[in-house]
Amino acid sequence: MDIKFGTSGWRAIISDEFTFDNVQLVAQAISDYIKSLKDKKNLVLVGYDTRFLSREFAQRACLVLSHNGIKPLLTDRDTPTPVISFHIINKKASGGINITASHNPSQYNGIKFSPSSGSPAGPEITSYLEKRIAILQKRNWRFRDNKAKDSFERFHPQPQYISHIKRLVDLDLIRKAGFKVGIDFLYGTSRGYLDSILEETGIKVHKIHDCVNPSFGGISPTPAAKQLKELSMLVSSSRLDIGLSTDPDGDRFGIIDKDGSFIQANDIICVILEHLIKTRKKYAAVSRTIATTSMVDRIAGFHGMKTIEKPVGFKYLAEELLKGNCLMGAEESGGISIAGHVPEKDGILTCLLVLEACASSRKSIKCILKDITRKYGSLYCERDDVTVGSRERLLKRLDGLKPHSIAGIKVLRFNHMDGLKFNLADGSSLLIRLSGTEPIVRVYAESSSRKTLKLLLEDFRERLISYFS
């Protein structure tokens, strides 16, 4: 079997491809990468999420690292990915491993690797790992160190990370707002982080799913509208001011407004960007992925900042954050980080920044969004997933899909940065990207008109089904 790293690590089904043997194989490839750096510290942080056997997989990775003369430092409990990222930088480690499949369903697990920068591993590193894994497989490599001992140094990652977050967020402003907050942890790693920070300020917190449950209650633990219905009901029934959520490894966010409605990630990105521009020092740029709303461009441009567009995957946004001239990196799938923080998306920080924006403006999220619309104009976004044919056929025929118009609107430009993006004559846009594993085309549409948005999606759904059938 081929082990491939996607936009954020390697993921597979537990006991099918995600096995102890394969975890050892990936850990050996990571060990070889670390050794190639000739880093005298040779320290790798290892964490894990709340999934079935995640801790045991993490311990096995530690065994392999130790066998290679690399010191593993294991977290004392399940830990969010951005916390691992923070400590890689804080401890000047050679890198970090988190055993997690992020927001994927419970039958999946995975491995995220971060180099010494604390960012997600970029294409050069993941390409090295994939090639190294393939070589090890050809050699029928097996980990057979009977002398290795499961006695690794543990560390408590919460205090220093929380102290760092307190320097980034105006918690006194949030405290004075007196919010009543609901949090859905989705049985993930952010419990003990997001709630502890808020409770320490005196905020009343209503928590749900704040325990370990490897099955995630039978849902796919994505902090999206469908999965956050219980949080929405809690906010409405208890008359809370806001609902917050993160995915199992704490890097993605989901937000519920005071009326119980789910707010799209694209809208949250705009709320936070507008707030940061008003309250933080000036930066030259903001970075977003190609699938993220171009409202970011309008806001940034209005304030004399440039927008840097990158392919999908936070590892590309991390490149810009590491340069030091970028205020924020954002992706529509629910990932944000800011200058002065780690080059990794952080759902915990994002939730706190949303609270700060609401406290600063003394308005609900929807009211802030109305202000943004009045200032910058309207833009509506929607995503549609279309299942068509085989993935191999999609890959072969994708470049040939170049219509002159969509829904009667002329196509002005084709953008091949990631997938295929169509920029239309009326300012609308439409992006299509293939799923990394399934015969699914993801269609992202944006327009200043809701009617046009609907027509674009309808037209392209029919076009895709016809073209790939």
Q: How confident is the model at residue 152 (pLDDT cuts 50, 70, 90)?
A: confident
Q: Rounded CA gap, 198 and 354, in Å? A: 13
Q: At residue 110, does pLDDT exceed 90? A: yes
Q: Is residue 359 part of a domain?
A: yes
CATH of the domain at 333: 3.40.120.10
Q: Are 58 and 136 in contact (CB under 8 A)?
A: no
Instruction: Calculate the dihedral angle through the C-alpha atoms of 357, 314, 24, 125, rounding to the nearest 10 degrees.
Output: -140
Q: Is residue 303 part of a domain?
A: yes
**186-230 pLDDT tens trace:** 999 999 999 999 999 999 999 999 999 999 999 999 999 999 999
224 and 362: one domain?
Answer: yes
Give the total number of structural domains in the chain: 3
194 and 77: one domain?
Answer: no
332 and 414: one domain?
Answer: no
385 and 372: one domain?
Answer: no
Among 128, 157, 186, give the residue marking a domain's end. Answer: 157
Among 338, 353, 376, give the residue marking a domain's end. Answer: 376
**395-451 pLDDT tens trace:** 777 767 888 999 999 999 999 899 889 999 999 999 988 876 667 888 999 999 999
65 and 150: one domain?
Answer: yes
Q: Is residue 168 part of a domain?
A: no
**270-312 pLDDT tens trace:** 999 999 999 999 999 999 999 999 999 999 999 999 999 999 9
Q: Is residue 333 part of a domain?
A: yes
pLDDT at residue 8 in the model: 81
Give residue for tokens 């949080």.
Answer: 231
335 and 304: one domain?
Answer: yes
131 and 40: one domain?
Answer: yes
pLDDT at residue 148 in the model: 61
Q: At residue 467, does pLDDT exceed 80? A: no
Return the number of other C-beta atoms located less than 10 Å from residue 309's C-beta. 18
**71-106 pLDDT tens trace:** 999 999 999 999 999 999 999 999 999 999 999 999
Q: Rounded CA gap, 320 and 343, in Å? A: 9
340 and 429: one domain?
Answer: no
Half-sphere exposure of 232 (CA within 13 A, CB side): 13
Q: Look up the domain containing 20 and give its range.
A: 10-157
| Residues 6 or more apart whose Cβ sits within 8 Å of residue 267 | 365, 369
Q: Are 430 and 445 in contact (CB under 8 A)?
A: yes
128 and 44: one domain?
Answer: yes
pLDDT at residue 170 in the model: 97
Q: At residue 54, does pLDDT exceed 90? A: yes
Q: Is residue 58 part of a domain?
A: yes
279 and 309: one domain?
Answer: yes
- Map residue 142 onto helix, strand or coil: coil
Q: Rounded CA gap, 322 and 412, in Å? A: 33
CATH of the domain at 447: 3.30.310.50
313 and 449: one domain?
Answer: no
Q: Is residue 165 part of a domain?
A: no
Q: Is residue 194 part of a domain?
A: yes
296 and 194: one domain?
Answer: yes
Q: Where would I find the beta strands (DSSP E) of 192-319?
A: 204-208, 242-246, 253-256, 262-263, 285-289, 306-310
Q: Are 253 and 245 in contact (CB under 8 A)?
A: yes
Range 444-463 average pLDDT: 92
Q: Is residue 170 part of a domain?
A: no
| Burial degree of 44 (CB within 10 A; 0-12, 13-18, 19+) | buried
Among 97, 129, 157, give the residue marking a domain's end. Answer: 157
